[in-house]
Structure 1
Amino acid sequence: MILKRYFLSLLFILFYKASFAQLKQVAITLDDAPFTTWSDRTPLKTLEEANTKILRAIDRYTVPVCIFINENTLIKEGETDARIRTLKQWLSNPLITPGNHSYSHPNYVNMNASAFQDEIIKGEVITKKLLQGTGQSLLYFRFPFNALGSDSITKAAMQNFLKEKNYISTPFTIESSDYLFNTLYQQALDKNDKTRAKAIADSYINYTIAVFDYFETISQEQYKRQVPQIFLGHINALHADCITTLIEQLQKKGYTFIDLTTALKDNVYKQHDYYAGPYGFSWFYRWEYDPQKRKKLLQSQPEPPDEIYQQYLKAIRTAPTK
């Protein structure tokens, strides 16, 4: 009997360790808050409704989310007060952590350091004012396009500036090109083509799950465990309509949702980022010292469906300016 209990206990311990090793967690981050991805011609009511939809899904499933804000889209004649109220709606939600995404979403590799520093400072003015008295701080910054600098010198210079400003430069591990799908999705909505819109949304969800599967494999191969993932998406029409489905699909895959601060405590995020250049790819690749190994990892990542990609290229060639 004692021997039996011993083996049962041993089996339980092994099962517990195996289960714990496969614990899957993800921190959701959403860039371009609250209006950056929409055309200037989009009615304010549409913008407000889309933001409200995303917030309702976050509340329904109790998902912590970090948003990265571009304050330039808050300023529009006759709408500024209403636009700021929408941002305040995000910031008053206890599940939301605010982040700075620069004032107007420029690409750092296309400008000098001084001008980009001004973008960071200008991009925090309204947000910090709204946070007064809430107990929250503006701790996180994410580079637009995840372009941290064209070379090691410009990269180091901006990282030092962020530290001086008490910002944490925010990484990500998973993104699934939602901007690409959203362009086509918005196009379908504009034409009131609900069948096409649904097909695009379904394709996006399927592709996103495939990308999660890929990075789970990379995590297991490189770290022998499932590291806490950081997902990068955007506040846009696509997510307004299908973020609920995305959350549910991730839950089915065994994910629990954690806040960004908790994710960043994992030692994996204390690794050195070896990449300096214009491309905004996953930190799984940036943690790889060998450029050739990094290239092989990049080449093995699933690509969006070719039909979707070709239609996206056609859409951006023919799209009117904002």
Structure 2
Amino acid sequence: MRFGRWLGMCVGAVALVLAGHAVAADGSYKLAVTIDDLPSHGALPAGMTRSGIAKMTLDAYAAHKVPRVYGYINSVHLKGDPDNAKVLQMWRAAGHPLGNHHVSHASVDAGTAEDFIKGIAANEPVLAELMPGENWHSFRYPFLNAGDAARGPAVAEWLKAHGYTIADVSMSFNDWAYTDTHARCVAKGDTAAVETMKTRYMDEVRAQIARSKAVSQKVYGRMIPQVLLTHIGGFGAIMLPQVLDELEKSGAKFVTLEEVQSDAAYAEPGLKSGLVMERTAQAKGIDISAIANTSVAGLDQMCR
């Protein structure tokens, strides 16, 4: 009888191991979606509103069951524009959290560390008002720049002392680079250029997903959970349903930022500038230069 129970336990353990390998072998990976520059990013295309862009974005998340998308805010855009304030209210009504992205999206290196810290603190009253009883101490560096040796450590220490965690990034499709160009092309009525942009962008999405998988394997020997950086612009909102479809085709399983950042890959010490996998590769002396990357060259010249 005792042998039978032991045998059953062994069979169960083997089954669990095999199940674990099956999950790893199916190509799936965890991914948290995040979005920067709420409530307003880039030029506003003709015929669109900021709240309309937010609705398109939130509808896409709901359709794909994307949980708790952190929206990182620059509250300077709330001044004098009630539609921008509506964006943040819509975000919270949909159940998504907000985080701090500096009041005006200034770079750490644009002034003193004290100046930058004041900009972080200036965002806090809005976050406290919109997220009562919840932890809004998640910070994303503007431009993913944690600062130079003269400023970065002081800012990082202040953030740590005030209970902030850093919202790292591992994957980006450079949607920010398309925002203003798209608005120009819409204003000119250049539908052919807009269609060209859409095709180019989806090619970049697929290429960057492939790059993220290749870099992760090279640096960690596995596909680490990913954090995707996007922006709340008109072009990004239009393309988001296709992007989420493509991510799901690639094996992405949408999870929360907290779940992804509990992975050991996000605990690397030091200033958190740039993309986490590239940063770690550099720190460990791992050459990833042969892995294909994309470029946004030429976008800024379109529809001029």
TM-score range, shorter chain: 0.7 to 0.9
* CA shift in 2, pair 1:289/1:244, >3 Å: closer
The reply to whether residue 103 of structure 1 matches residue 103 of structure 2 is yes
Hey, what's the Cα distance between the residues in 2 that align with 1:148 and 1:31? 16
Equivalent of 1:297, from 269, 272, 288? Answer: 288
Instruction: Figure out how many residues of one structure are paired with residues of the other and give that number.
Output: 292
Cα pair distance change 1:299/1:236, threshold 3 Å: farther
1:274-285 correspondence to structure 2 within 5 Å: 281-285=274-278
Per-residue CA deviations over 1:101-132 (Å, capped at 9, x if unaligned) read 01011111121011101100101222211222
Q: Return the alpha-carbon distance in structure 2 between the equivalents of residues 90 and 66 of structure 1.
A: 9
1:139 alignment counterpart: 137
Give the alignment's TM-score, normalised by structure 1.
0.82
TM-superposed deviation, 1:273: 3.7
Tell me the equivalent position of 1:93. 94
AA partner of residue 282 (structure 1): L
How far residue 274 of structure 1 moved from its aligned partner, in angstroms, is 6.5
Structure 2 counterpart of 1:281, one-letter code: G
Write the distance in 2 (CA, Å) between the matches of 1:137 and 1:287.
28
1:310 aligns with 2:298: yes
Partner of 2:232: 235
1:154, distance to aligned residue in structure 2 (A) = 2.1
Note the C-alpha offset of 1:159: 0.8
The CA deviation at 1:193 is 2.3
Where 1:158 maps in the other structure, the secondary structure is helix
Find the aligned partners of 2:271 and 2:74 in 1 and give their Cα distance. 27
Given the superposition, is the C-alpha separation of residues 44 and 84 from structure 1 closer, same or farther in structure 2, using an over 3 Å criterion?
A: farther
Extract unaligned runs of 5+ from structure 2.
1-9
| Poorly superposed stretches of 4+, deviation over 6 Å | 9-12
Amino acid at match of 1:35: S
The answer on whether the counterparts of 1:69 and 1:101 sit within 8 Å (CA) in structure 2 is yes
Normalised to the residue count of structure 2, the TM-score between the two structures is 0.87
Within a 5 Å distance, the mapping from 1:1-322 to structure 2 comes to: 13-14=17-18, 16-20=20-24, 22-38=27-43, 46-64=49-67, 65-76=69-80, 79-80=81-82, 82-94=83-95, 96-132=96-132, 135-151=133-149, 153-273=150-270, 281-288=274-281, 290=283, 293=285, 296-297=287-288, 300-304=291-295, 309-312=297-300, 314=301
The answer on whether the counterparts of 2:46 and 2:183 sit within 8 Å (CA) in structure 1 is no
2-structure distance, mates of 1:130, 1:13: 44
Residues 74 and 43 (structure 1), Cα distance of their counterparts in 2 relative to 1, 3 Å cut: farther
Match of 1:3 in 2: none
Q: Is the 8 A contact 1:108 1:147 kept in 2?
A: yes
Shift of 1:13: 4.8
Query: What SS does the corresponding residue of 2:281 show, helix, strand or coil?
Result: coil
Tell me the distance in 1 between the aligned counterparts of 2:60 and 2:135.
24
- Of stretches 11-20 and 264-273 in structure 1, the one that deviates more from structure 2 is 11-20
5+ residue gaps, structure 1, are 1-5
| 3-state DSSP of counterpart to 1:28 | strand
1:303 & 1:43 partners in 2: Cα distance?
A: 29
Deviation at 1:264, TM superposition (A): 0.6
SS of residue in 2 equivalent to 1:230: strand
Counterpart Cα distance in 2 of 1:299 and 1:142: 29
In structure 2, the residue corresponding to 1:247 is in which secondary structure? Answer: helix
Distance 2:47 2:204 in 1: 30
Give the superposition deviation at 1:260: 0.5
Q: How far did residue 272 of structure 1 move? A: 2.1
SS of alignment partner, residue 297 of structure 1: coil
In the aligned structure 1, how far is the partner of 2:86 from the partner of 2:271? 40
Q: Which amino acid aligns with 1:137?
A: N
Q: Map Cα deviations across residues 232-276 of structure 1 (whole Å, 9 max, x no partner).
A: 11110111101000001111111110110111111111122467x
